[in-house]
Structure 1
Amino acid sequence: MLYPAFIEVDTDGTASGWFPDVPGCTFAGDTIEDAFIDARSAIEAHFELLSEKEREIPTPHRIEEHANAKGSDGLNGRWLYIDINMDKFDGRAERINITLPHRLLERIDATVKQQPEYGSRSAFLAAAAREELLKNR
């Protein structure tokens, strides 16, 4: 499913943006490429959290609807679509009990704290598991 995002590039080359259909979901990067990568990570983490809390995932609208909306005249940037595979958000999250080494758990928690796009320890572990599973297809 394609989710529209708006991205702005600052004079120093850094970039940031948001998803108008997903309130509170923002992304950023040192370059426009980094911001694009962060956009996918941010929306997936956001949807993972919504799924875990059994909340509805917002439906995307077309870029044209957002670009023509009232108040969009002053925006200085560009629109893009982020393609999200919604299959992983269809099922309910299940609580499991796992055991991890203390130092590894501390590193995971520190990463989640530094990178709020993960949202939670569970979202971080799910993202890491998906990434590993995709490598081994």
Structure 2
Amino acid sequence: MTHYVAIIEDAGPDFAVGIWFPDLPGCFSAGDTLDEALANAPEAVSLWLEDIAAEGRAAPRARTPSKLKAVPEIAADMGRYAIALIPAPDVALQPAAE
């Protein structure tokens, strides 16, 4: 199963917890709590992958945390925020049907 690295931005109890994915531009998840945001994240990944498949595009390769740390902008966010590995459903990673 493929897992995408998620960057978790938690600004405190008065704000929603936001999650974004360096390998999936424009894919975001959120929730009122960390648990809720993490629970919503797999669905966000799945929907994002379904959208690009419908456009005929292939799913981006998921990079490991170590590979992402080699990218200075992402490394800075990884040092500032928590990260998690979010599973992508295998069905969403299949090429679009013609």
Classify 1:68/1:88 alpha carbon distance in 2 versus 1 (closer, same or farther; 3 Å).
closer
Partner of 2:55: 53
Higher relative contact order (CA 8 A, sep 6+): 2
Percent of aligned positions that are identical: 26
Q: Which has the higher strand share?
A: 2
Structure 2 stretches of 5 or more lacking a match?
Answer: none
Matching residue of 2:12: 11
Local SS of the residue matching 1:28: strand
Residue 81 of structure 1, CA deviation: 0.3
Partner of 1:73: 76
**For residues 31 and 93 of structure 1, what CA distance do their matches in structure 2 show?**
37
For residues 24 and 92 of structure 2, the distance between their equivalents in structure 1, rounded to whole angstroms, comes to 17
Given the superposition, is the C-alpha separation of residues 90 and 81 from structure 1 closer, same or farther in structure 2, using an over 3 Å criterion?
same
Indicate the residue corresponding to 2:35 in structure 1: 33
1:86 aligned residue (84, 90, 95): 90
Unmatched runs of 5 consecutive residues or more in structure 1: 95-137
Count the aligned residue pairs.
94
CA change 1:66–1:89 in 2 (3 A) is: closer
Query: 1:62 and 1:89, CA in 2 relative to 1: closer, same or farther beyond 3 A?
Result: closer
Structure with the larger helix share: 1
Q: Which amino acid aligns with 1:86?
A: D
3-state DSSP of counterpart to 2:80: coil
Q: TM-score of the superposition, structure 1-length normalised?
A: 0.60
* Cα separation, partners in 2 of 1:9 and 1:61, compared to 1, 3 Å: same
User: Secondary structure at the residue paired with 1:21?
Assistant: coil
CA RMSD in angstroms, aligned pairs only: 2.0
